[in-house]
Amino acid sequence: MLPQEIIRVKRDGGRLNEAQIQRFIQGVTSGAVTEGQIAAFCMAVLFRGMDLDERVALTLAMTRSGTVLDWKPLNLPGPILDKHSTGGVGDKVSLILAPAIAACGGFVPMISGRGLGHTGGTLDKLDSIPGYVSLPDRTTLERVIRDAGCAIIGATDAFAPADKRVYAVRDITATVESLDLITASILSKKLAAGLDALVMDVKFGSGAFMAEFDDAVALAESIVTVATGAGMPTVALLTDMNEVLGRTAGNALEVRESIDLLTGAGHDPRLYEVTAALSAELLVLGGLCPDTAAARTRFDDVISSGAAAERFGRMVSALGGPADLMENPDRYLASAPVVREVHADASGSIAAIDTRALGVAVVALGGGRSRVQDPIDPAVGLSAVAGLGAAAGPQGSPQSGPLAIVHARSEDEAEAAADAVRAAFTIGAPAPVPTSPVARRLAH
C-alpha cells in the first residue's frame, strides 16, 4: 500500500493493521516516505488516535528500524533493567539508581538524552565529568556492562532511527503532544536496549512537561499497557515536580549532589524517596527481590554500605572518567566564578514554586540550550534550592535560609538569575502540608 493510502486510512478514522504500520515505518527508515508524508501521518494520528494494538505495532516497528541489543551471548548473571523519566528540574535519579541496581545484581544499559527545554539532560550532567565517553562503541559498552553492571550512555543513530526522523518532524509540526507518538518514541528506544523490565518515572507539576496530573496519568497508563503488550514488563510511578528534585539544578552541581548521596556525605529526603521507590519497583520486576519492602531494604543497604558508590565510580572510570572521582569530586567538577545567595524580599514560608521558571533560569545561565548547537556550561546553576514549606526571608532575618545559591559566569548573569529565582517563589503563611513525592503507582 502506498504511504498516502496508509495516511488516508488513519485520516478517515480507520484502524491500521500491523503490516500497514510496518510498511510505513520501513519507508520512514529508508527515505521512501517524505517529510510531508510523515507530517500528515503524525497529524492524522494526533487527531484520530490509535488503539492499543496500533500503538504496540508502531512501537515495535520503530524499535526494529535499527539495532536491537541482545545480551544473551554475554551470559550475564542477572536481569537487564532500566528506568526512564519524562524529565524534570533537578532530576538526577538516574545517576543514583543505575549504580544501585547494579550493586543489587541487575545490569543497566541506560540510554539517556540531552536536556530538553527547561529540564536538564542526564548526558549533559555526565559530560561535566572530564573524559567521560557517553557514546561508546558496542564492544566498550558490553565490557562496561559486564564489569561495572551499569553504563549511562546516549543513543547512537543505530537505535530506533525511524523515531529520530519522526520526532524531528513532530517538533516542527505541532504534533509533539500526541500520546500515541510519545509512547512509541519513548518505548522504541527502551525496547531496542534489550530490556527485561522497565520502571517509568512520569512527572507532573510546575516543573514537568506534563504539568497536569490527569495528563501524566494518561501517559503513564499508555506506556505501561503498550510496554507490557510489547513483551516488556513495566511499572510507572507518578512523581511530584512542583519543586526541584533535590537541592541542585545544573550539570556539575547535580553530579556533585548525586555523589554526596551515594557516598553518604548528605542527601535530600525527596530525592532519596523517589530514587528508592523507583529502584524497589525495578528490583521486584527483575526478580531480584520478592516484594517492594525487601527491595527497599536492599536499596538502603547498597547506599549505606557504599556498594552503589563503588559501582558509579567503576562505571565512570571504565567510560574514560577519572578513577578517583568519588574521592575527589571537587578536583574534577567545574565550579563557577560567581556564587551568590538569593534571599526573599519578605519573611514567611514558601507556599508555591514555579519550578519551570527555575529550570529556565538555569538554561539562561548557560546550563541548558536555547538552540541545538548551543554549548553547555557545566559549572553554572542553582544549589541549596529551598523546598515547599521552608522558612524564607531577607538576608540576616532569623531562621530563614536562602531561596537558592546562584552559580554564574558573570555578575550580570548572576543578578539576572537572582531576579528570576525570587520571582519563582511565592512566600506566604501558613506553610503547605508536606506530601509524598510519589503520588501513584500504575501497573498492567
Residue 356: count other Cβ atoms within 10 Å of its Cβ.
Answer: 21
Q: Note if 125 is an active site residue.
A: no
**And the C-alpha cell for 113?**
538524552
Q: Which of 170, 267, 314, 356 is catalytic?
A: 170
Instruction: Check: CB of residue 227 under 8 Å from CB of residue 189.
Output: no
For residue 21, CA distances in Å to 25, 54, 158, 173, 401 come to 6, 8, 20, 20, 56
What does the alpha-carbon distance between residue 192 and residue 146 come to, in Å, rounded to a whole number? 18
Q: Which of 55, 84, 118, 203 is catalytic?
A: 84
Cα 138 from Cα 439, distance rounded (Å): 38
59, 63, 65, 122: the active-site residue: 122
Question: What are φ and ψ of residue 304, in 5° steps?
Answer: -65, -30
- 189 assigned to active site: yes
Catalytic residue among 29, 59, 63, 85: 85
Q: Confirm whether 268 is a catalytic residue.
A: no
- Assess whether 311 carries a catalytic annotation: no
The catalytic residue among 82, 124, 196, 377 is: 82
Which one of the listed residues 10, 55, 190, 314 is annotated catalytic? 190
Among residues 83, 165, 298, 343, which one is catalytic?
83
- The conformation of residue 130, written as its DSSP 8-state character, comes to T
- Strands 150-154 and 108-112, by their bridges, are parallel
Active site residue 300: no
Q: Which of 67, 178, 185, 234 is catalytic?
A: 185
239 is catalytic: no
Is position 122 annotated as part of the catalytic site? yes
H helices within 230-348, ranges in order?
251-263, 269-285, 292-304, 307-318, 329-332
Among 189, 247, 311, 407, the active-site one is: 189
Angle at CA of residue 114, ends 112 and 120, nearest 5°? 105
**Cβ-proximal residues to 72 (8 Å cutoff; 6+ apart), any chain:** none
Instruction: Specify whether 146 is catalytic.
Output: no
83 part of the active site: yes
Active site residues: 82-85, 122, 170, 185, 189-190
